[in-house]
């Protein structure tokens, strides 16, 4: 008996619409919709029979261990409130396999990070259990390889290799909640930012909501993440100036009034045009209102002195570099139409 063993002849024809592993892993409800009676199901799962019950209400239509893909679909079938697509759907578009949807269930944690393509996440066959995220009020318990995690509000799932997975920030938080090795946590967080999966702010927000920032090894990893995230944003800012042929600014400077107070640090400054760029790399775990007030006060003070401040987030730099370059270029070109700025002292930061 191999992994391509079909359903019984009576049920084989209508199950052909299911792709790959989904043809070999079916729930009690799916089998019933395909005309398989409880007696026939029990007969197929008898000792030495061709099928096996893998999880409560979930059956493998072959003997032997499941593949990684089969385990994923089995866990989703177990956890989903229902499979939203009918067992016998309308004919799919040519070249488009029919994929049932799993309502109120998605893969999360390390398995989701692996499906998102994380090199630092373990291979699926090495995972003894697969984390699956469901609503908090679902009455469902962990069993076998299905490890149930709960959320007050489910995030919008993404699709990876044909299965619904939690977005990277949520998957990271669910993985980190179960990890005690500081090196592993740091590698996962670092890869999320370095590989462009998401920004540090989104990760820290999820870790904060999961109440994980109080763990010393997580706090240390977050500090390193913020430093790395800022370095990556600065590199993107340097690349933006170079690739879009903007005039060279002075980098990483402090401004002061002559003999007066410190005005604040800036990531880039064009003295002749009195235009500044400031990267917003605030950590969500900080008091956002207080931090935003500080940003606003500094910008308003500089603008009263005639200095234009362009405020850029790392996400804007990553997703809209050309647009941000156009904003800076417009500010530089408009400098000739403004009154001269006050004289300020520019110091290295």
Residue 101 binned pLDDT confidence (cut-offs 50, 70, 90):
confident
Tell me how many domains the chain contains.
Answer: 3
| 29 and 87 both lie in a single domain | yes
Whole-number Cα distances in Å, 156 to 83, 165, 194, 209, 218? 17, 9, 23, 17, 25
Q: Is 211 exposed, middle or buried (0-12, 13-18, 19+ CB in 10 A)?
A: exposed
Give, to the nearest 10 degrees, the angle between helix 182-194 and helix 216-243.
20
Residue 53 binned pLDDT confidence (cut-offs 50, 70, 90):
very high
| 230 and 117 both lie in a single domain | yes
Task: Tell me what the mean pLDDT of segment 206-223 comes to.
Answer: 94
| 305 and 317 both lie in a single domain | yes
| 119 and 189 both lie in a single domain | yes
- Domain of residue 260 covers 245-348
Give, to the nearest 10 degrees, the angle between helix 216-243 and helix 321-333.
60
Task: Tell me what the mean pLDDT of segment 236-254 comes to.
Answer: 95
pLDDT value, residue 87? 44
Share of the chain above pLDDT 90, in %: 62
| 75 and 152 both lie in a single domain | no
pLDDT value, residue 334? 93
pLDDT value, residue 20? 62
When the pLDDT of each residue in the chain is averaged and rounded to a whole number, the result is 86
| 235 and 118 both lie in a single domain | yes
- In this structure, of 18-27, 34-43, 197-206, 320-329, the range with the lowest mean pLDDT score is 18-27
CA distance 20 to 32: 20
Residues counted in the chain: 349
Residue 99 lies in a domain: no
Task: Tell me what the mean pLDDT of segment 120-130 comes to.
Answer: 96
| 217 and 309 both lie in a single domain | no
pTM: 0.77
Share of the chain above pLDDT 70, in %: 86
Q: Is 333 exposed, middle or buried (0-12, 13-18, 19+ CB in 10 A)?
A: exposed
| 257 and 331 both lie in a single domain | yes
Q: Which of 243, 271, 287 is the C-terminal boundary of a domain?
A: 243
- In this structure, of 44-53, 206-215, 283-292, the range with the lowest mean pLDDT score is 283-292
- In this structure, of 22-31, 77-86, 107-116, 135-144, the range with the lowest mean pLDDT score is 77-86
Q: Which of 187, 215, 243 is the C-terminal boundary of a domain?
A: 243
The token pair that represents 222 in the structure block: 């977050």
The DSSP bridge partners found for residue 150 are: 134
| 169 and 141 both lie in a single domain | yes
CA distance 59 to 229: 45
pLDDT value, residue 96? 41
Q: Which of 197, 217, 243 is the C-terminal boundary of a domain?
A: 243
SS3 of the chain: the string is CCCCCCCCHHHHHHHHHCCHHHHHEEEHHHHHHCCCCHHHHHHHCCCCCCCEEEECCEEECCCCCCCHHHHHHHHHHHHCCEECCCCCCCCCCCCCCCCCCEECCEECHHHHHHHCCCCCCCCHHHCCCEEEEEECCCCCCCECCEEEEEECCCCCCEEECCEEECCHHHHHHHHHCCCCCHHHHHHHHHHHHHCCCCCHHHHHHHHHHCCCCCCHHHHHHHHHHHHHHHHHHHHHHHHHHHHCCCCCCEEEEEEECCCCCEEEEEEEEECCCCEEEEECCCCCCCCHHHHHHHHHHHHHHHHHCCCEEEEECHHHHHHCHHHHHHHHHHHHHHHHHCCCCCCCEEEEC
On the question of pLDDT at 99 being above 80, the answer is: no
The candidate with the shortest Cα–Cα distance to 233, out of 191, 192, 189, 200, is: 200
The token pair that represents 248 in the structure block: 């060279």
């Amino acid at each position: 008996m191999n992994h391509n063993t079909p359903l019984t002849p009576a049920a084989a024809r209508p199950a052909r619409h299911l792709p790959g592993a989904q043809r070999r892993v079916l729930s009690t409800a799916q089998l019933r919709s395909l005309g398989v009676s409880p007696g026939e199901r029990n007969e197929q799962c008898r000792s030495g029979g061709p099928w096996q019950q893998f999880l409560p209400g979930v059956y493998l239509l072959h003997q032997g261990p499941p593949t990684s893909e089969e385990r994923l679909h089995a866990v989703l079938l177990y956890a989903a409130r229902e499979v939203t697509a009918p067992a016998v759907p309308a004919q799919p578009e040519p070249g488009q396999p029919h994929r049932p949807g799993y309502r109120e269930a998605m893969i999360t944690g390390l398995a989701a990070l692996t499906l998102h393509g994380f090199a630092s996440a373990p291979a699926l066959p090495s995972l003894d259990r697969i984390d699956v995220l469901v609503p908090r009020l679902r009455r469902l318990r962990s069993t076998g390889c299905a490890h149930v995690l709960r959320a007050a509000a489910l995030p919008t799932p993404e699709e990876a290799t044909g299965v619904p997975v939690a977005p990277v920030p949520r998957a990271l938080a669910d993985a980190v909640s179960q990890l005690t090795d500081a090196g592993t946590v740091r590698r996962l967080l670092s890869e999320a930012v370095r590989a462009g999966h998401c920004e540090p702010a989104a990760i820290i927000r999820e870790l904060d909501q999961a109440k994980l920032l109080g763990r010393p090894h997580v706090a240390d990893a977050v500090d390193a993440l913020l430093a790395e995230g800022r370095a990556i944003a600065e590199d993107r800012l340097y690349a933006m100036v170079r690739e879009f042929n903007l005039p060279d600014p002075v980098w990483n400077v402090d401004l002061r009034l002559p003999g007066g107070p410190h005005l604040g640090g800036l990531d880039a400054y064009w003295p002749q045009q009195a235009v500044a760029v400031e990267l917003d790399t605030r950590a969500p775990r900080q008091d956002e209102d207080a931090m935003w007030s500080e940003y606003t006060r500094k910008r308003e003070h500089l603008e009263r002195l005639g200095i234009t401040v362009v405020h850029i987030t790392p996400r804007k730099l990553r997703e809209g570099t050309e647009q941000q370059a156009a904003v800076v270029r417009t500010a530089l070109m408009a400098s000739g139409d403004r009154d001269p700025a006050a004289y300020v002292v520019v110091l290295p930061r």
